[in-house]
Amino acid sequence: MSTSSPQRIALIGLGTIGISMAALHLSRDGNIVDVFDTRPDFEDYISKMLPIYIRDSQKQNSDAGASTSLVASLVSSGRLRIHSSLESACASATIVQEQGPENVDWKQSIWAQIEAVAPLSAHFWTSTSGIAASIQQRQMHDKTRLLVVHPFNPPNIMPLLEIVPAPETSPERVEFAREYFSVPGSRHRPVVIRKEIPGFVGNRLAFALLREACYLVQEDVVDAKDLDTILMASLGPRWAGNGVFESYQQGGGEGGIRAFLEKLGETMQTVWDGQGRVNVLGDEGIEWKEKVIAQVDEAYGTLSAEQIQEKEARLKDFVRIQTKKYTPDGLE
Amino acid sequence: MSTSSPQRIALIGLGTIGISMAALHLSRDGNIVDVFDTRPDFEDYISKMLPIYIRDSQKQNSDAGASTSLVASLVSSGRLRIHSSLESACASATIVQEQGPENVDWKQSIWAQIEAVAPLSAHFWTSTSGIAASIQQRQMHDKTRLLVVHPFNPPNIMPLLEIVPAPETSPERVEFAREYFSVPGSRHRPVVIRKEIPGFVGNRLAFALLREACYLVQEDVVDAKDLDTILMASLGPRWAGNGVFESYQQGGGEGGIRAFLEKLGETMQTVWDGQGRVNVLGDEGIEWKEKVIAQVDEAYGTLSAEQIQEKEARLKDFVRIQTKKYTPDGLE
């Protein structure tokens, strides 16, 4: 089955990521989305939340008054189907995607149940941020069907999807997922990770930087807010336009990253040797925790809905500019 | 002397950073900039390069034909003075700023020479990325005058200036530098780093992430280009709009970063325990180097002038959007 033909996607677990995925799948002509969640107010919740993400996904201002009728019209046209059992949600799926609790037992159990009720050809995707497909698939009979499709928060704006197969996942199913998110016009940028590793790639990079950030606050080199300012005033915009490797390829001039590593090698090694080895669990190396939490609370408090809206609008602008074309004449 | 009154800045060493700093200082009404460099074609070089950065700094399209006359008119009005000796360049300075070679002996020697010829009240700034003020000042009599003002590449666009005093630097001189770059209308965001530490803050954060990136390429988890795509499709735009701490404050919802650390603590500790300990110098842990260099060369080659121009135009857009105002009505 080609990825460009309409799919029928069963979404299991409709938290923020699930709702956002529903909006994404519904933005493709002809797709049918079956949703299942155990929350008691499920239908009301869908009617209230889905329009917000569909509006984002279509990049249009929607009339707030039309929100609930949008879901009603999707339901009456048969494109959105709200289910009260896992079995009926999965019965006709070409793709089953779960966004349930980050709990090994729950994941293993749900996939065994899904395997028993979904069509034999259906693709199985988990949106987990931390539990590898090879762990989730342990109670399944056919281990070639499951892979991780890890979105990044907020998933309705962030282009990244980390596709992480288990060693037993079939290459065809990996390619199907990659293609599905790569169709022309897609705002998403799927990347296949070749090996299962805790945190996959995005969070490993983020946590490596975070660890040093926590150390620098612990040592009173800088406070949390000033560290954030430093990141936003330098590495953030740099890495929004260039990856880390391309940045240093450019930084090295004609000699590229090799010249950069030679020139900065001594400073780099000194920094690497002196990196903070703080911890987040256990009893040692956790002196940073209360200090960081206190400074972050003082600097930002609880973000208001309006602040989050502004941040999301700005984030959309950043993502839009990533694909903006610059002609030589139009360059400032 | 107030930072809002015009300053007379002697710039010693006019590479990319020096030229960019000249443009920055000249963008302030009334400032006089004295430049000194030992390159033989110094005057021609200034006439050719400075207009490019002044154009950037004014955010205006300039008539390329007017380029050389711009420098001639700055010189004839007395705002730009091109010197052939260190002594004459520094003679009337209120600020002396050096952007010379990253070499301890050179830095120590130049500051001793500058101290001997500059007015007693002049502020001394070094644009070094790696040699602490406390090391550079060793041959000076008055060690309270020198501090680091570290810009980020490309300095004509990047807002960050890391201000890093030595323990002996006077607080008044630190505050003077911070204020100078904070005047209304300044595009710069100076941050004072409280303690000298190798790499300061920005490069420590960058190198922490780079180390893990090199490890992931070494282990064939992902190739260099896909890793760059991951960074650009997630953390880059996130950190362009939010610092790392604010991102996780938001990510934790009502519970803030404390809730985030509790929820993600296990994955985070697993990632931290398994971080790559690769090296850039020495014989051990350098298996990544040739692999990374080969993949980066293959992915990007040597960037053309046109590519760099496009990247700089995009970077300016990112920085512009950081300070864009979003009204609730205007939110998409």
The answer, for B322 touching chain A at a CB cutoff of 8 Å, is yes
> What value does the mean pLDDT of chain B take?
93
Mean pLDDT confidence for B30-39: 96
**How far off is chain A from B319, nearest CA to CA, in Å?**
7
Mean pLDDT confidence for A184-197: 93
pLDDT at residue B57 in the model:
62
Whether B40 and B185 share a structural domain: yes
Residue B325 domain-assigned? no
Mean pLDDT confidence for A251-279: 95
Whether B141 and B174 share a structural domain: yes
Whether the per-residue pLDDT at B126 is higher than 60: the answer is yes
Residue B323 domain-assigned? no
Mean pLDDT confidence for A251-261: 94
Q: Is A5 or B150 the better-scoring residue by pLDDT?
A: B150
DSSP string, B183-235: STT---EEEE-SS--TTTTHHHHHHHHHHHHHHHHHTTSS-HHHHHHHHHTTH
pLDDT at residue B55 in the model:
75
Whether B255 and B171 share a structural domain: no
Domain assignment of residue A115, given as a range: 8-192
Domain end residue (candidates: B192, B221, B255):
B192
In whole angstroms, what is the distance from residue A200 CA to residue A72 CA? Answer: 38
Q: Is B34 or B3 the better-scoring residue by pLDDT?
A: B34
Residue B1 domain-assigned? no
Summarised one tens digit per residue, pLDDT across range A152-175 is: 988 889 999 999 999 999 999 999
Tokens of B226: 């896909």
Whether the per-residue pLDDT at A251 is higher than 60: the answer is yes
The answer, for B275 touching chain A at a CB cutoff of 8 Å, is yes
pLDDT at residue B58 in the model:
57
Q: Which residues of A touch B332 (CB under 8 A)?
A: 56, 59, 61, 313, 316
Domain end residue (candidates: A192, A225, A246):
A192
pLDDT at residue B2 in the model:
64
Mean pLDDT confidence for A122-150: 97
Instruction: Pick the closest to residue B303 from A50, A247, A136 (CA basis).
Output: A247
Whether A34 and A149 share a structural domain: yes
Summarised one tens digit per residue, pLDDT across range B307-317 is: 999 999 999 99
Angle between helices A224-232 and A202-218 (to 10 degrees): 130
Q: Which residues of B touch A150 (CB under 8 A)?
A: none
pLDDT at residue A61 in the model:
44
> What value does the mean pLDDT of chain A take?
93
Residue A1 domain-assigned? no
pLDDT at residue A66 in the model:
55
Residue B312 domain-assigned? no
In whole angstroms, what is the distance from residue B129 CA to residue B110 CA? Answer: 17
* Residue of chain A nearest B291, judged by CA positions: A258
Q: Between chains, do B318 and A237 touch, taking CB under 8 Å as contact?
A: yes
Whether B164 and B254 share a structural domain: no
Domain count along chain B = 2
Summarised one tens digit per residue, pLDDT across range B153-180 is: 888 899 999 999 999 999 999 999 999 9
Instruction: Pick the closest to residue A149 from A316, A18, A7 (CA basis).
Output: A18
Whether A41 and A183 share a structural domain: yes
pLDDT at residue A187 in the model:
87
Whether A36 and A148 share a structural domain: yes
The answer, for A189 touching chain B at a CB cutoff of 8 Å, is yes
Residue A233 domain-assigned? yes
Mean pLDDT confidence for B30-54: 94
Q: How far is CA A327 from CA A20, B59, B310, B320, in A?
A: 34, 17, 8, 19
Percentage above 90 pLDDT, chain B: 86
Q: Between chains, do B231 and A250 touch, taking CB under 8 Å as contact?
A: no
In whole angstroms, what is the distance from residue A15 CA to residue A37 CA? Answer: 9
Tokens of B28: 């302030």
Give the ipTM: 0.95
In whole angstroms, what is the distance from residue B46 CA to residue B34 CA? Answer: 12
DSSP secondary structure letter of residue B129: S
Whether B183 and B38 share a structural domain: yes
Residue A93 domain-assigned? yes
In whole angstroms, what is the distance from residue B207 CA to residue B309 CA? Answer: 25
Q: Which 211-270 residues of chain A touch chain B by CB within 8 A? A: 211-213, 216, 219-222, 224-246, 248-251, 254, 256-258, 261, 264-270
CATH number of the structural domain spanning residue A271: 1.10.1040.10
Residue A331 domain-assigned? no
Tokens of B251: 């990510």
Whether A110 and A175 share a structural domain: yes
Q: Considering only A53-57, A228-232, A283-287, B65-69, which range has the smallest mean pLDDT?
A: B65-69
Summarised one tens digit per residue, pLDDT across range B61-92 is: 444 455 668 999 999 999 999 999 999 999 99
pLDDT at residue A69 in the model:
86
pLDDT at residue B60 in the model:
45
Whether A23 and A140 share a structural domain: yes
In whole angstroms, what is the distance from residue B48 CA to residue B45 CA? Answer: 5
Mean pLDDT confidence for A26-45: 94
Whether A209 and A94 share a structural domain: no
Whether the per-residue pLDDT at A282 is higher than 90: the answer is yes
Distance of CA B108 to the CA centre of its chain: 21
pLDDT at residue A56 in the model:
66
CATH number of the structural domain spanning residue B13: 3.40.50.720
Whether the per-residue pLDDT at A195 is higher than 70: the answer is yes
The answer, for B187 touching chain A at a CB cutoff of 8 Å, is no
Domain end residue (candidates: A192, A218, A247):
A192
Tokens 């960074």 appear where? B231
In whole angstroms, what is the distance from residue B314 CA to residue A310 CA? Answer: 21
Q: Which 108-147 residues of chain A touch chain B by CB within 8 A? A: 129-130
Percentage above 90 pLDDT, chain A: 86
Buried/exposed code over A201-225 (b: 16+ C-beta within 10 A; e: otherwise): bbbbbbbbbbbbbbbbbbeebbbbb
Summarised one tens digit per residue, pLDDT across range B213-258 is: 999 999 999 999 999 999 999 999 999 999 999 999 999 989 999 9
Buried/exposed code over A159-176 (b: 16+ C-beta within 10 A; e: otherwise): bbbbbbbbeebeeebbeb
Q: Between chains, do B242 and A311 touch, taking CB under 8 Å as contact?
A: yes
**How far off is chain B from A308, nearest CA to CA, in Å?**
8
Q: Which residues of A touch B331 (CB under 8 A)?
A: 309-310, 313
Summarised one tens digit per residue, pLDDT across range A36-63 is: 999 999 999 999 999 988 876 654 444 4
Whether B159 and B266 share a structural domain: no
